[in-house]
Amino acid sequence: MWLKELLKNIEKNMTKEKRLKKRHNAEKRFRFYGLASIFLALLFVLILVQNIFSKGSSAFMKTAINVEVFYDPELLGVKNGATKDEILEADFFDITIETLLKTFPTNNLDEENQLIDLFTTDAELEIKNALINNSNLLGKTVSLEITSSDDIDQLHKGNYPRDLPEERRRISNFQLSIYDNFLENKKIIKNFNNYFFKNGDSRDPEIAGIGGALVGSFYSILICLLLSFPIAVLASIYLEEFAPKNKITDFIEININNLAAVPSIVYGLLALQILLATIQLPRSTPLVAGITLALMTLPRIIIPCRASLKAVPPSIREGALAVGASKFQSVFHHVVPLALPGTLSGTIIGLAQALGETAPLILIGMVAFVVDIPSTPIDPSSSLPVQVYLWSESAERGFVEKTSATIMMLLSFLIVMNFLAVYLRQKFEKRWN
C-alpha cells in the first residue's frame, strides 16, 4: 500500500518537473522563432538595399571625355565679340563635329560616325552652353568635358563586358581602341552626375534625369496634402465627436475601412473615368495625380486620425464640459490639440504611401514620355515611382543603374517622411508626460 503511494508521489513529482521543463522549452522555442524571424527579415532588407545600392550608386557619377574646342567665329557664323543673343542663334553643329573628330584620327565616314557615337547626343548643347555661359571664349581654344555616350559610360564603370565577340557588342573594336587611347591619355574623367537631378527624361540614358519626376511628384503630393488633410481631419472630427452613433454612421465607418483596402489601381480607373473622361482635366498632369492620390489617401488618413481622437481620454472632454465649455469648445480646445501628433504622423505616413503609388498614375497617363520639367501642376509630367517603372522597362544598360538610383531617391524620401512622423509624434506627446 505505502509502496503504491510512494510510486504515485514520485510519478506526480516527475510529471510536475516534466511539465515545468516543457513550459521552459516552449518559451525557449518561441524566443528562437522570434529571433529567427527578425534575422530573416533583416537579411531580406539587407539583400534589397545591397542590391539597389550596388546597382544604383554608380548612377550618381557620369563619365566625361576631355576635348579641345576652338570656338571659331567663322564656323559659327558670328563675328568676334558677338552678343549672347547672337550666340544663341548660332548653329553649333559644324563646330561640334569638327571638335569631336579632332579627338582621334579616322579614315572614313563609318569610323567618323563611330567616333562621334562615343559622345553624348547632347554634345552640341554642351559646347553651346559653355560659350553662352562665358562669351569671352569666342575665338579661343578651351578644353571642355563632354559627357560620353551611355555605352562608354557603362564600359568605363565596368558594367559592360568587353570580352564578348565584336558582333555581340554594342561597342566596336575600333571604338574600344579609341576608348583605350583616351584612357591612356587620361582624357576620360568621372564627375558628379548633375544631369541625373536636373534633367527630365530622355531616350539617351547619359542625359536622362529625374528632375521632371521630382517636380511632378512634389506637385502631386502637395495637391494630395492640400486636398486630403483638411477633408480627412474634419471628417474624422465630425465622425468621432459630433456624429450620432447609429446605423448610418456605422455604415460610413465600415466603408471608410473598406476604401482604405481598395487596390489603388481602382482609384486610377475612377480618375480616368471621372477626372479625365467626364471633367476633361488635362491628362498626365500632377493636378489629376494629386486628386487621385488624395482620394486614395483620404481613408488612410481618416483611420489613424480617428484612432488618435479616440485615444484622448473621455475625462478630458468631461473636464472641459464641466467648466461650461460647449461641445465645440471642448473638442477644438482640448481634444484636437491632443490628437494632433497622431493625426500628423498618420497624415505623413499616408502621404508617404501616396508618394510611392504607381498604378493609378499609370492609368491617368503619367506613364507618358515627358522630356520637359513641369513648371505648373497642369503641365504633363512624370513622377518618381512611374519613372522607376518606365526605366525598368528600357533596354539600355544605362537605365538599369538609373532605375536603382531613382529607387534610392524614392526610398530616402520615404525614410525621411517616416522619421518626421515618428519625430513629430514623440516630440509633441512628450510635452505633457
User: What's the rounded Cα separation, in Å, for the pair 17 and 319?
Assistant: 55
Place of cell 468631461: 318
Whole-Å CA distances, 397 to 123, 228, 369, 393: 20, 39, 19, 11
Selected binder of another protein within 65, 78, 90, 338 (CB under 8 A): 338
We find the least distance from the C-beta atom of residue 303 to another protein, in angstroms, to be: 22
**Burial class for 173, CB neighbours closer than 10 Å (0-12, 13-18, 19+):** exposed
Task: Give me the phi and psi of 164, to 5 degrees please.
Answer: -70, 155
Which of the stretches 82-90, 164-172, 194-202, 425-433 binds another protein when contact is defined by CB under 8 A? 425-433
User: What's the rounded Cα separation, in Å, for the pair 266 and 357?
Assistant: 12
We find the least distance from the C-beta atom of residue 202 to another protein, in angstroms, to be: 55
Nearer to another protein, 161 or 324 (CB): 324
Nearer to another protein, 34 or 319 (CB): 319
We find the least distance from the C-beta atom of residue 313 to another protein, in angstroms, to be: 7
We find the least distance from the C-beta atom of residue 309 to another protein, in angstroms, to be: 15
Nearer to another protein, 198 or 334 (CB): 334
Task: Give me the phi and psi of 338, to 5 degrees please.
Answer: -70, -30
Place of cell 559592360: 160
The contact pattern for another protein, residues 298-337, with x = CB under 8 A and - = no contact, is: ---------------x-xxxxxxxxxxxx--x---xx---
Nearer to another protein, 4 or 431 (CB): 431
Selected binder of another protein within 5, 186, 244, 247 (CB under 8 A): 244
Give the residue among 194, 222, 257 at the shortest CA–CA distance from 381: 222
**Residues touching another protein: how many (CB under 8 A)?**
22
We find the least distance from the C-beta atom of residue 340 to another protein, in angstroms, to be: 12
We find the least distance from the C-beta atom of residue 11 to another protein, in angstroms, to be: 47
User: What's the rounded Cα separation, in Å, for the pair 208 and 203?
Assistant: 7
First to last CA, the chain: 66
Q: What is the largest CA-CA distance in the chain?
A: 127
To 10 degrees, what angle do helices 384-392 and 398-430 make?
Answer: 150
Give the residue among 253, 232, 255, 241 at the shortest CA–CA distance from 305: 232
We find the least distance from the C-beta atom of residue 322 to another protein, in angstroms, to be: 4
Structural element, H or E, at residue 251: helix 247-261
Does the protein bind another protein through residue 83 (CB under 8 A)? no
Nearer to another protein, 158 or 244 (CB): 244
We find the least distance from the C-beta atom of residue 243 to another protein, in angstroms, to be: 10
User: What's the rounded Cα separation, in Å, for the pair 353 and 83?
Assistant: 50
Does the protein bind another protein through residue 247 (CB under 8 A)? no
Nearer to another protein, 4 or 245 (CB): 245
We find the least distance from the C-beta atom of residue 265 to another protein, in angstroms, to be: 40
User: What's the rounded Cα separation, in Å, for the pair 168 and 8?
Assistant: 84
Does the protein bind another protein through residue 245 (CB under 8 A)? yes
Place of cell 546597382: 55
Nearer to another protein, 33 or 238 (CB): 238
Nearer to another protein, 283 or 317 (CB): 317
Nearer to another protein, 333 or 427 (CB): 333
Task: Give me the phi and psi of 78, to 5 degrees please.
Answer: -125, 160
Q: Which three cell numbers stand for residue 163?
A: 570580352
Place of cell 581654344: 141
Contact residues for another protein (CB under 8 A)?
244-245, 313, 315-326, 329, 333-334, 338, 431-433
